[in-house]
Structure 1
Amino acid sequence: MPSTYRLAIVGTGGIAHLHAAELRRHVPDRFELVAAVDPDTGRLDAFNAQFGLERGYASIEELLANEELDLVDLCTPPVAHGPGAIAALEAGVGVVCEKPPALSLEEFDRIAAAAAASKGDFSIISQHRFGSAAERVRNMSAAGVLGKLAVAKCDTLWFRPAEYFAVDWRGRWETEGGGPTMGHGIHQIDTLLSLVGPWSEVVATAHRHRRDTNTEDVSHAIVTLESGASVVITNSLLSPREVSQIRLDYDNATVELDHLYGYGDSNWTVTPLEEHVEEVMQAWYSKPRGQSSGHGAQFARIADALDGKAAPPVNVTEARRTLELLAAIYASAFTGKRVRAGEIDPTSPFYQRMNGSGAPWPDRK
């Protein structure tokens, strides 16, 4: 019989409302939402009233001192992810964290150390991994049906107006960690890596074209995978026709995903070479089918992992691989050099912060 796990949400902004709604809609019998945390009393009270919660706290420390929990769901601004995760893990409570998991590799490694010493696990929200079509593509690739990957692209082309950055923590290295590379493209990039495997090196550029921020508003990267395949990645907040796209060109077929903030099976297309139509399409129409991407799908997998006493997806190793690629994109963009996996170590300024030795434009106050 599946267990029900006690969960508290930390932060009660827009993403917390989405998490709470997804928990209630998709896995109400797997998680009991018992409390919320926010230093803003008005916002906390409104959240608790909406979701029928009796208890609220001003800090995660107060929460941990008063509640018996299985999981803390961090929905705070990025600057609070690291301190919140470490506090929960040191209390022996598992953590699921919204993106990005940390502001830097240095902070992430402190989270990983806390997780290694804790009975709780740390995992990162990456809801686009969990649609059935993505799982099918991974299965087809592993089975060799698609052949070897040759070329891929991964685009997060979104639009955020100037007013979006009126929120004081947005657009600042010290509180958001980066621009669209870090805060928006991360989900699409992580989904890509879950499909194509580890990366080996990157050459990149980043630009601040339009927005009044300290971070970039556009970045481009050419990534070489360990397999030898090449990937082009673009992240933008300046694109009026918003779209999220992944295209994978294998030897036997092209696989494409075209969506915005979430997908179903219908958002994917497969175009096989004529001589491989039968085997590719037979695999494509196999199971699993019918599961859209989304937070509910990931929370169901988290509950399954807890039932089996396994580390929830997406784990420390997978989350770090994605974060390291983001750090490498910034390092390449700001130094003009090719950056290889493993190269950003504690001696690098890009290990300490995503803007490393500094962006090629002045900070705006």
Structure 2
Amino acid sequence: MRTYKIALVGTGGIAAIHVANVAQAGSRAEIVAACDVDAARLDSFSDEHGIAGRYQNLTQLLAEGKPDIVHLCTPPMMHIDQAIECLEAGVHVLSEKPPALSLADFDRLENAQAVGGAQFSCVFQHRFGDASAAALSLIGGQVFGRPLVARCDTLWYRPDAYFDLPWRGTWSAEGGGPTMGHGIHQFDLLLHLLGPWQEVTAIASRQARATSTEDLSAALVKFDNGAVATVINSLLSPRETSDIRIDCEFATVELSHLYGYSTDNWTITPAPGHEEAVAAVWEEHSLARGSGHLAQFIAMYDALDAGRPLPAGAESARQTLEFAAAMYASAFTGASVRRGEIVPGHAFYAGMDGEGLGTRVLDETALTLALPA
């Protein structure tokens, strides 16, 4: 096993989480450089974490720091261009979510990966806990049976003050509201567990927050395997929870947590008459490690050591981004959207607001809600 040289781009709050988790990986990785346009913030962060290489320019970092992997911890609107520059320079990329603000931007990655021979991966850490791996192997199998019904809820609370940062709650900087920036972790895990989605029917609204985007979305989803799920993404929920429930023929799989889970956050309930078989196959799996950045980092290092594609790579990240685009397209057009429908020329291919349609619809909704009874 080699030791991978890591560079962090962006030194805000999420970067500190990356530093802590890289440290827990021991000899598998070391942080050799950090990059930020704010010199004072860069120096403060680097001093705190003992990082020697300091750059205010990504191009200079790539040329002089020569990292193996760049972790993108910058605001969402910067992810795609920074990822492309790194990939074309032959440096692997691990990007915080969302990977891009549109499918059109995301599809630029394919050429960048080919040019530099490097790989892209997105931080979808909920895929990587032991219980998630166990559930993935059992859902649809003989003992648990076919998945039939599911729900996926990201019910979070963000007060008005959260949006004081000027780029938050905007289409141009975040690409959307809780669908893109918050619920994406949960429904990415749902898609990971249930496989390809087939059709989405959705609504989105601006209920209470002074944003350009939605603060609530909800969808009814049909999957290729026949399962039907509801998905809700909210920033309006004082009792915050993140929940997934999947009812299979012979067992219910439930996950209830907030921003990350341990094994204790999972519950497996067998159907009557299937208690012994369900318990036995669940207990066969190692269930020690919860979700988190460390679990994904280790999986990434293992893949690179073995010469395998990176987990949560470009192809699967695109499927999750396409699902978000389909939610917006359905919500703002009033029509169901099928997987594969949003292609070049489609109004929602170039942006989640559908060439401004989403903004107009939300403005009309907000006006309606504000009118006196």
Gaps of 5+ in 1: none
Q: Is the 8 A contact 1:135 1:288 kept in 2?
A: no
Structure 2 CA distance for aligned equivalents of residues 305 and 61 of structure 1: 26
1:70 aligned onto 2:68: yes
Which residue is equivalent to 1:60?
58
Aligned residue in 2 for 1:305: 303
Q: Distance in 2 between matches of 1:28 and 1:37?
A: 22
Partner of 1:261: 259
1: distance between equivalents of 2:114 and 2:194? Answer: 27
**Cα pair 2:53 2:65 within 8 Å, conserved:** no
Cα deviation for residue 130 of structure 1 reads: 0.7
Match of 2:92 in 1: 94
Alignment partner, residue 362 of structure 2: 361
Q: How many residues align?
A: 362
Residue 288 of structure 1 deviates from its aligned partner by: 1.8
Counterpart in 2 of 1:18? 17
How many percent identity over aligned positions?
51
Of 210, 215, 232, the match for 2:230: 232
Of 349-358 and 339-348, more deviation after overlay is shown by 349-358
Q: CA deviation at 1:143?
A: 3.4
Inter-partner Cα distance in structure 1 for 2:65 and 2:30: 13
**Corresponding residue SS for 2:274:** helix
Secondary structure of the corresponding residue to residue 352 of structure 2 = coil
- Whole-angstrom CA distance in 2 between matches of 1:141 and 1:248: 9
**What amino acid is aligned across from residue 3 of structure 1 in structure 2?**
R
In structure 1, what is the Cα distance between the partners aligned to 2:326 and 2:141? 31
Tell me the CA shift for residue 111 of structure 1: 1.6
SS of the residue corresponding to residue 15 of structure 1 reads: helix
**Structure 1 Cα separation of the partners of residues 303 and 290 of structure 2:** 19
Q: Tell me which residue corresponds to 1:212.
A: 210
State the distance in 1 between where 2:343 and 2:130 align.
Answer: 36
Q: Is 1:342 the equivalent of 2:320? A: no
**1:171-190 correspondence to structure 2 within 5 Å:** 171-190=169-188
Give the TM-score normalised by the residue count of structure 2. Answer: 0.95
1:130 aligned residue: 128
Runs of 4+ in 1 over 6 A off after TM superposition: none
Name the aligned partner's letter for residue 14 of structure 2: I
Matched residue of 1:8: which SS?
strand
- Give, in whole Å, the separation in 2 of the partners of 1:10 and 1:79: 13
Pairing 1:111-122 to 2, within 5 Å after superposition: 111-122=109-120
**Structure 2 alignment gaps of length 5 or more:** 367-373
**Following the alignment from structure 1 to structure 2, what is the Cα–Cα distance between the partners of residues 112 and 324?**
15
Q: Distance in 2 between matches of 1:235 and 1:112?
A: 29
Q: TM-score, normalised to structure 1's length?
A: 0.97
Alignment deviations for residues 55-113 of structure 1 (CA, whole Å, 9 cap, x no partner): 21112112112111110000100010011000000101010100000000000000232
Q: Which SS does the other structure have where 1:352 is aligned?
A: coil
CA apart distance, 1:133: 0.6
Q: Distance in 2 between matches of 1:225 and 1:196?
A: 7
Inter-partner Cα distance in structure 1 for 2:116 and 2:309: 12
Residues 256-291 of structure 1: CA deviation (Å, up to 9, x unaligned):
000001111110101101211111110111222110
Output the CA distance in 2 between the equivalents of 1:362 and 1:50: 44
Match of 2:41 in 1: 43
Aligned equivalent of 2:370: none
Give the Cα–Cα distance (whole angstroms) in 2 for the partners of residues 62 and 161 of structure 1. 38
Contact 1:153–1:233 (Cα < 8 Å) also in 2: yes
Which secondary structure does the structure 2 equivalent of 1:293 belong to?
A: coil
Q: Could you tell me how far 1:142 is from its partner in structure 2?
A: 5.1
